[in-house]
Amino acid sequence: MIYMVEMALIDLARRAEWDDWYLAHMKKLITIPGIQATQRFEALAPHPSPFVALHQVTGPEVFTSDAYIAKAGPGGTGEWRDRMNNWHRNVLSGVDLTPDVPMEGALVVIEEGASTPIPVQWTEAIGLDRSVQRRGLAVIGQRADAEMLIGLPGVRVCKPLTPRLVAG
């Protein structure tokens, strides 16, 4: 399953500090039993939630575990919680593994009803916010090949901000 987190940073003057904090947060997340991998992205065009993180989880029970509650979740974001908005957290089924998007590639996030000329893996929201019903994901190996998708309605093209981190 995929745990997808989307948000905007309000205080862009602190972007470098936030990026450092977020990388440390990702490293902490993959120490939690049930969180197997993580990768972070940023939209290439303006979007209400330009930052996306995909976390591979074993199931929704991760979010009620003592380890998750102690180390992560909304309370685990510290001062940054008040510096983010348009924050959405969805557990998605239909895809077991988070994609490993190469640093020169792109993650494409597709809203239900949008059409694209590329193959898409569809997911269904089954937990947490359920701010969407379905969401499509695709990986493009070379970012330049994804540029034709930028600006299509319901399509968000994102560049990786980190490589995919794997637990263990």
Q: So what's the pLDDT on residue 79?
A: 79
Q: So what's the pLDDT on residue 141?
A: 96
List the CATH number of the domain containing 132: 3.30.70
Q: So what's the pLDDT on residue 74?
A: 66
> pTM for the whole thing?
0.95
Q: So what's the pLDDT on residue 78?
A: 74
Cα separation, 73 vs 63, in Å, equals 8
Instruction: Give Cα separations from 12 to 51, 119, 130, 150, 153 (angstroms).
Output: 12, 34, 27, 23, 26
Q: pLDDT of the chain along its 168 residues, tens only?
A: 999 999 999 989 999 999 999 999 999 999 999 999 999 999 999 999 999 999 999 999 999 999 998 888 767 777 777 888 899 999 999 999 999 999 999 999 999 999 889 999 999 999 999 999 999 999 999 999 999 999 999 999 999 999 999 998
**pLDDT tens digits, residue range 73-106?**
767 777 777 888 899 999 999 999 999 999 999 9
As for how many domains the chain has, the answer is 1
Residue 115 C-beta-side C-alpha neighbours within 13 Å:
1
Q: Which domain holds residue 37?
A: 2-166
Cα separation, 57 vs 12, in Å, equals 30
Q: So what's the pLDDT on residue 131?
A: 95
